[in-house]
Structure 1
Amino acid sequence: MTLRANVPPEQLVLELPHRAAQEAEDFLVSRSNTAAVELVDTWPGWPLPTALVVGPAGAGKSHIANVWRLRSGADVITAGRLDETAVGAFEARRALVVEDIERGVGSEQVLFHLLNLAREKAGSILLTSRVAPGEIEITLPDLRSRLRAIPPVFIETPDEDLIRSVLVKLFADRQLVVEPHVVSHIARHMDRSMAAALEVVAACDRLSLAMQRKVTRAVAAAALAEVGKDADDDQDVDDGGPG
């Protein structure tokens, strides 16, 4: 294909989809997530039928849940959409992931029933949350007590070493060769979350293609500024909304 000479390079950059790596070999281990990794590794020998993974946004809860899903054959449902269909999904596989319980539970009665089923039928349920059970608003007293009785497994905010390793992996996934000092610069100046790492690497990829140059420190700085501006814009929207 011949490109028209009068079209600026940045106009030729297409937003191509990039699959987020979510399998076991894509999960990088550090001291911030060791406990969650051990939780997956010890299944099906959990001491309790239900486990709870707690961590901040972007820490890797969904990734660790997906690794367990692949291992256990579990279905996945968001807590806000929980209804009677989840009971059939659990009974079919004896395993279920219920994500984001801190954002509200579609049916507290169904979740309580599921926790009972897991105990009665030797099944397993993995819950994820951004906050500990005591901070979650639950109306049903029995469910509230049951959740608070589950020992949470914490994923901490990713440390700089983990973020650096994640960046190297994400750049490699996109077949981008980036100098170590550039990776270190990005790791020091970005938000420490997996979501931020994905955004920065995507921005670096897009900008390097538009500028027709490799990912240098200057390109990385531009990507960080772009991602930071997007985050500020999102915060402005959030601040102006209800709640």
Structure 2
Amino acid sequence: MSVDQLTFDLPHRAALGAEDFLVSDCNVAVVKLVDAWPDWQAPVQLLIGRPRAARPISCACAGRSGAVALDPAHLGIALLDRLVSGSSIVVEDADRAGYDEKTLFHLLNLAREKRLFVLLTARVSPNRWDTSLADLTSRLSAVPVTEIGTPDEALLRTVMLKQFADRQLDIDPKVLAFLALRIDRSLEAAAAAVEAVDRAALRSGRKISRQLVAEALQGTASAE
């Protein structure tokens, strides 16, 4: 069966400058947040999820709003002071990318003063961030949080199907279901599984089957 014949009942979203992402139970709240811009109830929003899950959403939000992604290596108060009212900002990996705490605090204050739109992404909630600035901790505790849930099986299968198609590989739907049931429920695990199966198929010259999938996953486990 070709990739064109194999579909799942998950709506596609326009990429808006990021890789395509799909709406499922695990991310429907996040999609609503993206769609609600610029009518957010608060100017600063925090998106919590693993990096591979959060990045396409933050990129889609940036594409929709024209947001600028801030780089911790070049971010400073002088840069923020040049922002005009209505500017949209994306701050990825805010809990671990080395952002200056005083600058982040200044950004959150400017969001109120200048009506900036700020999307923060992080792996964990602010009460688990290693922050030393009490004022920043207080500000972050008031930021609305939207979480990306654990991917369900349908989403994992669809993501892997796209990745196999990107590699010009066909996979039987039963084999794909077999694979989806044997990996961790994360997009990182899905990508690693597709990579392992691709390498196994290339190395052996065999078509993708349950046996090849099992061997590829076993090889991945052994490497760990």
* 1:200 to 2:193 alignment: yes
1: CA distance between counterparts of 2:90 and 2:22? Answer: 21
Normalised to the residue count of structure 1, the TM-score between the two structures is 0.77
1: CA distance between counterparts of 2:143 and 2:165? Answer: 38
1: CA distance between counterparts of 2:43 and 2:177? Answer: 41
Correspondence for 1:164 = 157
* 1:70 to 2:70 alignment: no
2: CA distance between counterparts of 1:77 and 1:228? Answer: 37
Runs of 4+ in 1 over 6 A off after TM superposition: none
- Counterpart mapping for 1:1-243 below 5 A: 23=17, 26-56=20-50, 58=52, 60-77=53-70, 82-84=75-77, 87=80, 90-91=83-84, 94-103=87-96, 105-230=98-223, 232=224
Runs (5+) with no aligned partner, structure 2: 1-14
Deviation at 1:61, TM superposition (A): 0.7
Runs (5+) with no aligned partner, structure 1: 1-20, 233-243
- Matched-pair contact (CA < 8 Å) for 2:16–2:63: no
Q: How many residues align?
A: 210
Correspondence for 2:12 = none
1: CA distance between counterparts of 2:107 and 2:150? Answer: 30
Deviation at 1:98, TM superposition (A): 1.0
- Matched-pair contact (CA < 8 Å) for 1:82–1:111: no
Distance 1:145 1:174, change over 3 A: same
Query: RMSD value over aligned CA atoms?
Result: 2.5
Structure 1 residues 38-93: Cα deviation after superposition (integer angstroms, max 9, x where no partner): 111111111111110112454x1111111111222222235587434752685598
Counting aligned pairs with the same residue, the percent is 43
Distance 1:86 1:29, change over 3 A: farther
- What letter matches 2:37 in structure 1? W
